[in-house]
A and B are shown apart, each in its own frame.
Chain A
Amino acid sequence: QKEVEQDPGPLSVPEGAIVSLNCTYSNSAFQYFMWYRQYSRKGPELLMYTYSSGNKEDGRFTAQVDKSSKYISLFIRDSQPSDSATYLCAMSAGGGGQNFVFGPGTRLSVLP
């Protein structure tokens, strides 16, 4: 079992749809949870950052963390063609970069 699992997609949705992206993990020591957006041939961009369990909302984006189920989600409301990118979940147990793990990413296409 990989430490972080994420459906690679591709996921195609019509403009305006609600998008749900998910990751599962196996390491119960993870306590920092991030979502990054990566456009083609660019570096990842930090979208959402959450410590421990709970929800966090920022504009059209909502991140959820359920540590009891080892499951995190990112919801995108009113999706736009500009949201088309690869979305990477990432998790850290603290203590430095060797404890920081990325998922493989989900490729999202929002169709006009």
Chain B
Amino acid sequence: DAGVTQSPTHLIKTRGQHVTLRCSPISGHKSVSWYQQVLGQGPQFIFQYYEKEERGRGNFPDRFSARQFPNYSSELNVNALLLGDSALYLCASSLRVNTGELFFGEGSRLTVL
């Protein structure tokens, strides 16, 4: 079975632009979470969706938004990009919402110039 897939793998944007990152969870997983990982740090929680509903939101500005589709895939959108948004964006899927048994994709590496 395929694992969590993310696209694009790498992208370069300029300040003020908008970006959309996509994620397909493991088949049968209904929960998708998004994380931001800056070099040298652990992943920071952004959003969690379960059955198309937002189940958690981390401490990120409103420029960050996400949604989950009926097939459980998900998009993360970031508006008005800042230099500090440069990071590895990770998507993780799980069977359940509560336990933290997460399966990660390879990530989308965003560079903002």
B43 touches A44 (CB 8 A): yes
Query: Quick one: which of B94-113 are within 8 Å of A by CB?
Result: 97-107, 109
Total B residues in contact with A, Cβ cutoff 8 Å: 28
B42 at the interface (CB under 8 A from A): yes
Contacts of A42 in B (CB 8 A): 106-107
Among residues of B, the one whose C-beta sits closest to the C-beta of A96 is B56
Alpha-carbon distance A99/B100, docked complex (angstroms) = 9
Alpha-carbon distance A60/B63, docked complex (angstroms) = 44
How many whole Å from B107's CB to the nearest CB in chain A?
5
Among residues of A, the one whose C-beta sits closest to the C-beta of B33 is A97
Among residues of B, the one whose C-beta sits closest to the C-beta of A30 is B100
Q: How many A-B pairs with Cβ below 8 Å?
A: 80
How many whole Å from B52's CB to the nearest CB in chain A?
15
Name which of A36, A45, A51, A100 has the most chain B CB atoms within 10 A of its CB. A100
Alpha-carbon distance A101/B103, docked complex (angstroms) = 15
A75 at the interface (CB under 8 A from B): no
Among residues of B, the one whose C-beta sits closest to the C-beta of A92 is B100
- Given B58, B90, B100, which contacts A34 in the complex, CB threshold below 8 Å? B100
- Given A34, A88, A91, A98, which contacts B56 in the complex, CB threshold below 8 Å? A98
Alpha-carbon distance A102/B107, docked complex (angstroms) = 16
A95 at the interface (CB under 8 A from B): yes
- Given B41, B44, B101, B105, which contacts A46 in the complex, CB threshold below 8 Å? B101
